[in-house]
Structure 1
Amino acid sequence: MYVIMKILISAGVIAAVTEIAKRFPSFGGIVAALPLVSLLSIIWLYVQGEPTKTLSKFALGVLWGFPATAVLLAIVYISLKHSFSLITCLGLGISGWLGCILLQEVAVKFIKTII
């Protein structure tokens, strides 16, 4: 029952964001950029009894993924502006996201060897 409640609330949030975006695209984008998924996930983890250490690691993971997500969205925006198909835009964006994640990993390993 608990899983069904999480699914319904999470789906409701996504539905609300897409309805806002249909009517007011720029405002919908701002609402979509809110950390709704991150906050919902932290709340669900907390309600399920996860220790604060787990919540902290989760928050750090979200923070770690933020630059790559910004790259993905910038690539999708630029690609759509140049009239590429949605599938192409998403493919390019995901590729950029993956490249950014890998670059972050290499950078961290390099910095660890220097320090």
Structure 2
Amino acid sequence: MYVVMKILISAGVIAAVTEIAKRFPSFGGLIAALPLVSLLSIIWLYVQGEQTKTLSKFALGVLSGFPATAVLLFIVYVSLKQSLSLMTCLGLGISGWIVCILLQEVAIKFIKTII
């Protein structure tokens, strides 16, 4: 029952954001940029009894994914402005995201070796 409740609430949030975005695209984008998934995940983890240490590690993981997500969204934005198909835009964006994550991992390992 608990899992069903999480699914319904989470799906409701996504549905609400997409409905707002249909009517007000810029405002919908702003709402979508809010850390809704991250906050919902933190809340669900907390309700399930996870330790604050786990919540902290989760928040750090989300934070470390932010630069790659920004790259993905920028690539999708530029690709859409060039009138590429949505699937092409998403493919390019996801590819950019993967490259950014890999470069970030290499940079982190390099920094750890010099510190």
Shorter-normalised TM range: over 0.9
- 1:93 is the counterpart of 2:99: no
Number of the residue aligned with 1:38: 38
**Structure 1 residues without counterparts, runs of 5 or longer:** none
- Equivalent position amino acid for 1:81 in 2: K
Number of the residue aligned with 2:65: 65
- 1:51 is the counterpart of 2:51: yes
| Deviation by residue 1:11-50 (Cα, 9 ceiling, x = unmatched) | 0000000000000000000000000000000000000000
The alignment of Structure 1 onto Structure 2 pairs a total of residues equal to 115
The structure 1 segments of at least 4 consecutive aligned residues displaced by more than 6 Å after TM superposition are: none
- Equivalent position amino acid for 1:75 in 2: I
Number of the residue aligned with 1:6: 6
Using the alignment, how far apart are the partners of 1:34 and 1:27 within structure 2? 11
| Deviation by residue 1:62-99 (Cα, 9 ceiling, x = unmatched) | 00000000000000000000000000000000000000
TM-score by length of 2: 0.99
Cα RMSD, aligned residues only: 0.4
What displacement does 1:114 show? 1.3
**Structure 2 residues without counterparts, runs of 5 or longer:** none
Number of the residue aligned with 1:83: 83
Number of the residue aligned with 1:23: 23
- Equivalent position amino acid for 1:10 in 2: S
